Amino acid sequence: MQHSQTHLRSRPVSAGHLRAFEAVARHLNFRAASEEMALTQSAVSRQIQSLEEEIGVPLFLRHTRAVELTSAGAQLLLAVQQSLPRIDGAVRQIRQSAGRKSVAITTFASFASMWLIPRLEAFQRDNPDIDIRIDASDMAVDLDVADVDLALRYGPPSSMPAGAIRLFGETLTPVASPWLIKSSPSISKPSDIAHFTLIEAGDAHRTHLEWLTWRRWFEVHALSRTQPKRWLYFNYAYQMVQAALTGQGVVLARSSLISDSLASGDLIEVLPQQRMDSPMAYWLLGGPRSTMRPEVQAFSDWLQAQAATTRQTIGEGKDPDLEDLD
């Protein structure tokens, strides 16, 4: 088969012959590939020839008793081996979920780990016929185009679109594990915090979350020049709380995300009278194409009921002016 630059094409190749190519490339044998695919050897050979003509370069070197990949064939095989399993996996998932009720939620990783996932078992127990998919990412998705039904967001009221439902707000409070407090100098006033390792987000000072920092807490308490025993930095809120749970220091935590740990006694507020208000709140947004489905409405109602419990736990009353940004 002769090939030249005139045979090269700019349009994408059809995908029909790629499975035959992958089988031959894996076995380096047309007979073995044809047996695997339940086709005749000549049918597989014709598919490979059509693919080579469509691409414009040979993919195999054909010897008397064997074949070997050309450099172009090796390049294509790498792409095919990465793509076909992903396609097969997507098809399996589509087939399995066909006809099933499902709800897809997008939220940020710390909220999923610390608030949503620990509560999901109750919803699944009461709604065994509804599948749940959680996409935990710190990148906000566009609900108008994304394949999600509900979004759980974090931000001030001014940043939320019309129709966003306020779930709960937050305060910031220093917390630590009970045994760390028992084995360390007592904390009776804000300046005593300096005797401990302080846990903080490593990038908080470079982002819009500066009000979550110890520096702001110190400034509020007229301790702007205070330096702690040492610093311990993490990327995510759930990592910071995990470090506090294991006694590695004191964290300025978001009350709404640690309400369960406070209720169980796994964490304690070291200065409960020194809580600091946050301008942020947690919100529920519905996708424009999915909010009318019964399963989505059921999950939305459940989320709002769970949020009411959290508001009660953190001592936050109803705020009708912020419940719904219409």
Cα dihedral 284→317→265→109 (10° resolution): 20
- Under 8 Å CB-to-CB from 232, ≥6 apart: which residues? 197, 198, 199, 200, 243, 248, 249
* Element holding 18 (H helix, E strand): helix 18-27
Give residue 142's pLDDT: 75
Q: Which residues of the chain have pLDDT under 70?
A: 1-12, 92-93, 95-98, 145, 204-208, 289-291, 317-326
pLDDT at residue 318, rounded to an integer: 55
The per-residue pLDDT for 87 is 82
Domains and CATH numbers, the chain: 5-97 (1.10.10.10), 111-326 (3.40.190.290)
pLDDT given at position 95: 64
pLDDT tens per residue across span 167-186:
999 999 999 999 999 988 88
Tell me how far apart the 2 most distant CA atoms of the chain are, in Å. Answer: 87
Q: What pLDDT is recorded for position 236?
A: 87
Separation CA 137–CA 218 (nearest Å): 31
Q: Please give the pLDDT value at position 6.
A: 45
pLDDT tens digits, residue range 133-164?
998 877 777 777 677 889 999 989 998 988 89
Q: How far apart are CA 142 and CA 151, in angstroms?
A: 10
- The pLDDT assigned to 5 comes to 47
Predicted local confidence at residue 320, as pLDDT: 42
pLDDT value, residue 314? 86
